[in-house]
Amino acid sequence: MYSSGHDGVCSDMWDTSYSSSYWCGNASSGGWAEVDNEFAKSGRLGIPVGLTYKVDSLFADRAKHWNNATSAVIHAWHSQSWFTNMFEVKRHTNSTLFFGRGGSQGGRSWCRCDQCSYAAKDWCKNNTDPKALISGTFYVENVLEELDSPQEFYSSAGSLEILLNATYDPYNISFIVPRLSTLIEIRGTTNIVISKVGFRDTKQTYLDKYGVPSGGDWALNKQAAIVIEDSSFITVKHSQFKRLDSNGILLMKRCRNVTLKGNEFSWIGESAMAAWGETNEWDGQAGNQPRGTVVKHNIVREIGIYEKQSSAWFQAKSCQTTITGNLFFNMPRAAINFNDGFGGGNIVSNNFIFNTCRESGDHGAINSWDRQPFIWDSILGFNPQPTFITNNFIFAGYGASQGVDNDDGSSFYHIINNVFYDADGFKMDYGGHDSLFADNLIITRPYDGQNCVNMAAFYPKHQHRYMFNTCIMPVSVGQKVGHLSYCNGNNQKPGILRNNSYFSKGANASFECNGQLDTLLQVQEKFHLESGSMSNELPSDDIIFDWIHSKVQSFHQQPTKRMEIM
């Protein structure tokens, strides 16, 4: 199915000039899609236009001192903490803040108490309105009466007030008011190099109208320190991007052979690097997408200062990207995000990734969605090339669930020879297919019980393959390898699983299949799955470390003989 929507309330909220929105369609599906689906079909989005605070609340105590909250900004987490929304206050009367601009920074609606009460259990229980919109926590900025701490400022027409530690000499200090949100725009050209240049002080853009580029959860604005559009053979290298309040680099439409190499991004308001192509609904054969981009040896850290749904690298309607040898750490959500499966052919290799999803969950250090099919090639049609994720060393700490979260429908991923520490293993969700997860070393941790593998069924010949993996379940994780379904199925099977090694205390690895717990031996005998796989005693920490070390060393070697038979 291909589904999208535009105009009406959709275009009131989001910029649909480049792309209609999957979430404004009447047939969206996947995780919590019924929420957006209902809102789109009713013409009433789940994004608030105001906030009424309780008169006896902490917030009310504060707000009663505000003479004028007009032009204040509320930053609020989405109900399930997938992104943050910002809203400009245009009026404050009694105990209500009415919003003006903003609200489009994420691609999706907030859910209501009758849709996802788990997100705010106690609040919903005490709320008489079952259709109450749920948020996460929030804060307010740009209120004069809240100017009370060093390093804060308040601006209004005609003046600027700044609080500063007295250690600074106020007569010998300069401030920068950002005026531009894009510094360099490269459009319709070729063969340009930017080298060893620092970029700083761009204007924040989070109250702009964002677009929803494709079927992932994201919305994105079209501003960045460097915007590259309809261009080829552009190189940005050894440059610094520091304290920019929009995006770092954004590739738009038809870009070919752009190289982003050896750059460092830090303290960025939104994403470091992003690519956003254009299609005519499902048809991308015109080629108006970034293809063949190389993202190499970059360092990205401390991004998503304002918009939490930000990544080191994000792509939508883009393909054949090589992301290699990068260092990505300290960010609120995924380091690498594939918003759709357009074209595939990406290579993600030899990257070092840790401290991702520091402020969010239900996500991975690398994250993907594949909810909308696209024709990217006149011969191959809808079928993308495989995306290879190989030789990466990933810590999936904080809220990251997997090293790679292949979410809703993600297909054609070949995830081979990686180290995933503190991570769940392979995930299939909402009908992903044709992926290979092989020869990875996974050291799991207690999370949600998916542990080594979580696979449902799919049509024969298109199932996922999970093989030659080593999955270590520390004592705290227990024995459960993960979830399978349709183990007895005739037309559908839970993928091909074989030649895996599971390590747990007591050497008694078990699988939950159709709600029942079976040992590895039972799974092999009853369901003819996991041939050649073994359940082993948990080794010592020293041995586990030797395996990790060997695997990391192997990142520089040729693929093993074993890989050739896969």
By the rule CB under 8 A, 194 interacts with another protein? yes
Buried/exposed 372-385: b ≥16 CB within 10 Å, e otherwise: bbbbbbeeeeebbe
Taking contact as CB under 8 A, which single stretch among the options 43-51, 504-512, 514-522, 526-534 is the one that binds another protein? 43-51
Residues 494-513 that bind another protein (CB under 8 A): none
Within 13 Å of residue 502, how many CA atoms lie on the same side as its CB? 32
For the segment 252-281, give every residue that binds another protein (CB under 8 A): 261-262, 264, 267, 269, 281
Q: Which of 64, 118, 130, 195 binds another protein (CB under 8 A)?
A: 195
Are 257 and 233 in contact by the 8 Å Cβ rule? The answer is yes
How many CB atoms lie under 10 A from the CB of residue 220? 28
Instruction: Looking at residues 158 to 187 of the shown chain, list those that interact with another protein (rule: CB under 8 A).
Output: 158-168, 170-187
Rounded to a whole number of angstroms, the minimum distance from the CB of residue 208 to another protein is: 11
Q: Which stretch binds another protein (CB under 8 A): 287-295, 315-323, 456-464, 517-525?
A: 456-464
One residue of 118, 446, 517, 545 binding another protein per CB under 8 A? 545
Q: What are phi and psi of 159, to 5 degrees?
A: -155, 160
The binding track of 220-259 with respect to another protein, each residue x by CB under 8 A or -, is -----x------------xxx-xx-x--------------
**What six digits make up the tokens of 28?**
């969206």
Question: Least Å distance between CB 318 and another protein?
Answer: 19
- Interaction of residue 557 with another protein, rule CB under 8 A: no
Report the alpha-carbon distance of residue 72 to residue 241 in Å, rounded. Answer: 28
Q: Which is nearer to another protein, 493 or 533 (CB)?
A: 493
**CB closer to another protein out of 200 and 256:** 200
> Is there binding between residue 155 and another protein (CB under 8 A)?
yes
Exposure on the CB side of residue 88, measured as CA atoms within 13 A: 12
Residues in the chain: 566
Residue from the set 257, 434, 514, 566 that interacts with another protein by CB under 8 A: 434
- 447 lines the binding site for another protein (CB under 8 A): no
CA gyration radius, the chain: 24
Of the candidates 115, 102, 473, the one whose C-alpha atom is nearest the C-alpha of residue 306 is 102
Cα separations (Å) of 312 from 181, 264, 299, 373, 538?
19, 11, 9, 25, 35
Indicate whether 142 belongs to the interface with another protein (CB under 8 A). Answer: yes
Q: Is residue 534 a contact residue for another protein (CB under 8 A)?
A: no
Question: What distance in Å separates the CA atoms of residue 277 and residue 289, rounded to the nearest whole number?
Answer: 4
Choice between 58 and 565, CB closer to another protein? 58
Q: Say if CB 316 and CB 340 are below 8 A apart.
A: yes
Question: What's the sign of the alpha-carbon dihedral 27, 30, 35, 40?
Answer: negative
Within residues 86-125, the interface with another protein by CB under 8 A covers 95-96, 98, 110, 120, 123
Q: Whose Cβ is closer to another protein: residue 242's or residue 498's?
A: 242
